[in-house]
Each structure stands twice: as structure tokens, then as C-alpha cells.
Structure 1
């Protein structure tokens, strides 16, 4: 009976091709929209996570000033509350701190020959390279001796190298940063854009003391990046840094921190929660289309029951039971939803790849999303097919035979 019911259902769909296709369209669009939307959300999540991971592994960031609940900074002088000696103390006194890299940055104009370029110049220490997961592609990075002697050497990003030098090898060339001469000793490997669209290759890195004393005329640092020994110890390292900084800054129990300590594990968790909410919202938008498709299935099945009332009466008169009629119409609804679901999967996966290729967005097709969307389409076909099928099965055979 099952095989026969499927054959009858397929014959009924073939007999009304246009109507069947239009009914399937709601399911096709719904499934496709769910897959495409979730793919976009998953792509955004992967992009954010990879961007955060590219900043460095087990990274803790210590920044000046304490944030209130509203995000505002406390104390007018708190923006200069960190020093190079604070960074040295963290490296020396916090057991789980593997590497420590203090840094300062400011925008400057670079000049080479008749070419000029404005970019961010960052002063830091040799540990910065490993802390931030960066590598030198050509040449070398500066050393501790360069920091101690306030050497005028610079390591540049790929964007700066291309903009100033074109096809010329930058290593060994002299550039002027804010009119001061610097010798280029290395070019960083390309890192591409960050999550916020910032070009990570558009940078110049110089020794910290050179930046502080020869360029900016400051004694404080703007950020201290700390690499913990492992993910398991990161929370303890963060707490030890906070304790040490409070002691060094002579903060009593009644005074708030004049610094902020954050780790990328919590940042990534927050980002994952945010992108998860976005993905859920996008999936729900696609799910509305599925619901509309289910209503379309119910509508067309009710029309089918009305059109085939006399057929139902004849089948009942020949011995068809309640279950036989119910099964026939349920299978017809299921065939529509399954066929629509399969075509919707193809549409959704195709749309995800087209969006990625045309718009340049990151998309990630999730097998879980595909299975979920298809399962929901089948469930919707079953749910919205029950009422019309039950209505057909409950028809009185005599009244059905008399129906014109």
C-alpha cells in the first residue's frame, strides 16, 4: 500500500505540474534561505574568530584607564598609567607570563624618494613578533640592542612596502618618518584585513624607546601585550597581573583600577555569543519562509481533497479504510515537502557560494544547517498535511459519492 500510495501521489503531482511547482516554491525558498542565512552567519563567526586568533595565542592585553559599566574611562590622567617598567615587572614577576610586549603607536607620514604614505607607526620590543603571531618575510626584526640604543630601524608591512617601493627591495633602504631617517631592516609577511576591515599590513614597527623618546616625547606605553604559557593558566595570569599592577600603582582597596586587563579567550567567547545570536536571527528569518511554504502545502492539499471528494468516496466504497485515505494524502504532502527540501538545499548551497564569490563575504556551509533545514521542511510537510489528510479520511462515503 505504501508503494501504491507514493505512486498515486506522484501521479497527482504530475497531473498538476504548475500547481505542484508553485506549492513547492515556498519550501524551496524557505530551505534555501535558511541554509544561505546560516552560512552567512557562520562565515562571519569564522572570520571574527580567525581574526582574533591572528592577534596571538593566549593573549592578555593590559591597557591604561579603567572602564566603568558604561564603558567610559575613569580619571583624566589614567590614560598614561602604564610604563615600560610595568611591562618589565610583569615579565619578571608573573610566573605564567611567557612573553611581554609593551607598545605605543601614532600616525605619521612616511617618505621615500618622491613617494609618501601616511600610516600607523608602532613602537614595541622584539617579543612583539611572537606575541602577535607575526613573521618577517624579508630581512629581519630589530633586537634588544636596538631598543637599548634607540636605533632608527624599521620593519614595514606589505602594504607600506608596495606603496613606497613598488618592485624595489625595501630592505636596506632609508625612509623618513616624520622627517626623521630610518633604515628598513625587514618586511612582515602579509596578514590581510582584520574583522573590522583594517589593513593589518599597513603598518610600520620601530623600537619602543625610539618611538617614545625620539618620535613622540613620552615615557608611558599605550598597551602591554602578554602571552600566557597556556590557555589553562590564562585566567590566573590575568589575576596575577592585576594584583601586581595595583601594588605597583599603590592603589588601596577603596580605589578602582587605573588600568584594564582583558584576555582574548573572553573576547572570543563574547564574539561567539554575538555571532551566534546573529546566526540564529538570520536562520529565523529564513524559517518564516518555511512556515509560509507549509501553509501553502495545507492550502493546496485542502483544494486537492475538495477536487477529489468523489474519488475518495469511490475508494471508500471499494473497501479503503480510514488509514488508507489518511496515508495517501499525507504521502502527497510529504512528497511535496521532500522534493521542495532537496531543491532548496541545492538553492541554499549555491546561493552561499555565489554570495561569497560576488559580494566577497565569508560564508561557511554547515552540514548541520543543511540537515536541520531539510528535517524542518519534512516536519512542516507532515504537520500541515495532517489536517487535509484527516479531513479526507473522515469523509462519509455516501456523501462523497453524491458530491458533484
Structure 2
């Protein structure tokens, strides 16, 4: 049962994506005007169903084409340095940078043949409908502009279930291998912050073993990197070392801007974050252990316990606000996020991680890069900042990641046939 509290909680700013909510609101109008829920009670309603669906499809498609035009206008303002003056920015103040146009009209047509959005009488176009349409629109734009030079992935909930590992039977593996055979570079940008290759091999062994055993050229086998701790540790697939990953020294891959991140500032920021986390543990009586790492600090539940969603988000928001107001938090980038049953603060964030992957591969542009992740809410979500570095796709499960990669393959094949 959905209570009023749950409804109001879901409408909080940190739980919403303004662009998706705005598009969903636009689509609600033709749904209300043209859906015919009472027709299901009438005899011989089959013909009316198709007529209703055709009208709804046309109206939804028109709206998507109009939004597509607004995004193109916003991109033109971006290039002129006047994005604050774009109509889209006025309508959706939180809208972020676009690296490519979004083919929303074509993406809606594509998704409507799969989700039958226009045929629905009682359920209006949903958040998930719009999210998947945006994903498809982004993929279409990337594939048609081709080639797609780099895809970066989050780990948990994106490549494998939360807290699990990438085992040999994972269906995403052959799809990633197909991308690598076409020359696409792969980056796994994860919050897991390990200093040893062995720990990443334990999480990714199914993929790493499959790459080693594949028949792709040796130089292609090395087109996979793992960037851990959001933007702290880099490992490169080697195919020869014991754990199939080589540690890349920090000076060999960090961005010029990251050179100013001093050890003293790192320690100070983690001290402030640790104090904030401990205060939350005390105030909410959380059954938690504090974990301090070299470049991260967080809380995890004691054995057999779980945190409530509200406790996780309260901890993230409190810690984030304290860090934002601290002098060191203004000097040093950080990411405070809800990991599902823990809260961590990392040095840097995924925008820096993706940018580092791009630099490592010779300077790949954001318009040739796709980041795939599951956490894109405005607070407590560590994929959100990746939007500053490249195009993104917001998925909700490893199965959706497979579907997205299938779309890339299908759309790429269609482009090649032309």
C-alpha cells in the first residue's frame, strides 16, 4: 500500500530527476485527453483500441520531437557559452550539459514497439518509460555518429547484482567482448577502492578470464581498465599477470587538475567525513562500523543488520552538507553516496574517473564516451557526476545493461547495412 508519506518522500528534490519528470508531465496531457479506459467495457472495442493507440502514438511522438528541438537549441547555446539563456534551462533549471543531440522521436518509436506505451489506457507514460527512451535516444545518437570509442560501467547493480561479482555465466560478458572486438575501449569505474589487483580480479574474474581466453587480437585484450575508488586506483588488463591486471602508477594516468590534491587535504577531508559519519551513527543509533581506507571512509552495518533507506539518505545528505561547508570540501572534490546498505565518502568522483579513462586512452571526447550506471539521482548517487564528463545511460539492473548493449549492437548493425 502506498502511504501519503511514501508519496511525499518520493517527491523530495533529491529523489527526482527534473528532466525526466518534466517530460513525463508533458506526456501526461495526451494520455489524459486520448486514453479511453472505459472502452474496455464496451463490446467490439478492438478497432477503437488501435485507433486510440495511433492517436496517442502520434501525440507522444510530436512531444518528443519538440523536446528534441529544445535540446538542440540548448546545445547551440552551450556552444555559444549562453546555456543559461536557453529555453530548456528556463523550463528545467537542473538540466546538465549535453554532449550530443538526443534522437527522442526515433527513440520513442523504437521503445513504443517494445513497451506498447501508446496502447495503455490506465497507466500513463512512466518515469521508467522516459528513462529508457532517453537511453535509447542517447545510444542512437552515439551509434549514428560512430564509432563509440569508450564505454565505462559502474560495477554493482550495473554489471552484477549488488555485492556480488562478475562470474563466468554472466550474460553481459559476451556483449562486452563483442564491443572490444570492434575496437571499443572498456572502463569499469567503481566505488570499490582496492590497492591490490587480486581484489579486483575476485570481483571481475569472469570477464577477465573470458578476455584472456578469447581469440581477439592481443592489443584489443588490453583495452580494458579498472578505475577503483571512483578516481583513485587504476589497473589495466594485461592477459599475462597472475590476476590479469597490472597496477598503473598514479603519475601515469591522473589528470593535471588532480595533481593539486595533496595528501594533507585528503587526510583532512576524510577526518571531517569520518566525524560527520560518526555523528550520524550516534544520532540515529545505527548498528554500524566505521571503515577508514587510504582514500575513503564509510559506515557499514554490523553483521546481520541492515540500514533503512531513510537512514542511508539522511547520513549521505548530512555528511555531504558538512563537507560542502568545510574549507577542505571546497578545495577537494569528493563523493558521498548511498551504496545500498552502506554509506561511503570517496576522494574525487566518477566525473574524474571517466575523464581519467578518456585521458588514459589518448584523449577520447565526451561525445564518443558512454557511461552506464544505476545511480543518477541528484544526491547520494555516485554515477550522477559522470554526466559532467560524457554521455550517460541510466539502467536499473544488470539485465537492463544487457538490453542496452543489445540495442547498441542492433542499431550499429542497422547503420552498417545502410
TM-score using structure 2 length: 0.23
In our comparison, the structure showing a higher alpha carbon Rg is 1
TM-score scaled to structure 1, two decimals? 0.24
With CA pairs under 8 Å and 6+ residues apart, which has the higher RCO, 1 or 2?
1
